[in-house]
Amino acid sequence: MVTDLAEVYRLGTAKAKENLAFRRYLSARRWSEKRFQVVAADIQAHIDCRSCANCCRNATVSLSRFDVDKIASFFRITAEDAARRYMDPDPEAPALRNLRNSASGCIFLEQNLCTIYDVRPKACRDFPHIAVGSHTLGGRAASHDRWAAHCPIIFNALETYKHLTGYQQPGS
């Protein structure tokens, strides 16, 4: 299992085209995403996300009104104050909010730990979106392709699943 973040990035980036071909391979054969989710959940059980936190360094986290209210309540401030202090307008939908990021990642990331862990947004709680039965946008195969270079769970799950399905890269 590859857990070194530099190696995950190197391999995940190098395998981007292969992962796209694999997604198409699965789609053409109508493989159930549930099988992938089971593989990914098994790998997730062996990886401590606190040793990585790459999702917190690389993601844009969209917030629901419920997420905003929970964060505001945590700090005992109004939702408007929370939005002003910790959030930015979503560039594609200015009425919505994203968690603010700094050069080192999420505004609430300290070293590899979330300082608002108990009230973290749903997108953070659900990452890497591999729960069996999950049908969120983040759980779609295209999202897994994008995260393969950043998340050891997704990278290793894709590589394991390629092996289990008998996938052979075209031309190999």
Residues of the chain with pLDDT below 50 are 137-138
The per-residue DSSP string of 124-138 comes to: HHHTT---TT--SGG
pLDDT at residue 14 in the model = 96
Quick one: DSSP state of residue 23? Answer: H
Q: Where are the domains of the chain?
A: 5-56+127-165, 61-118
Quick one: DSSP state of residue 151? Answer: -
Q: Could you give the CA distance from residue 90 to residue 18 in angstroms, rounded to a whole number?
A: 32
Residue 149, classed as helix, strand or coil, is coil
Q: Which of 111, 95, 17, 4 is nearest to 56 (CA)?
A: 111
pLDDT at residue 135 in the model = 57
What's the chain's length in residues?
Answer: 172
| pLDDT one-digit tens code per residue, 107-148 | 999 999 999 999 999 999 998 888 776 655 445 666 788 899
Contact 149, 16 (CB under 8 A): yes
Question: CB-based burial of residue 30 (10 Å sphere; 0-12 exposed, 13-18 middle, 19+ buried)?
Answer: exposed
Contact 152, 9 (CB under 8 A): no
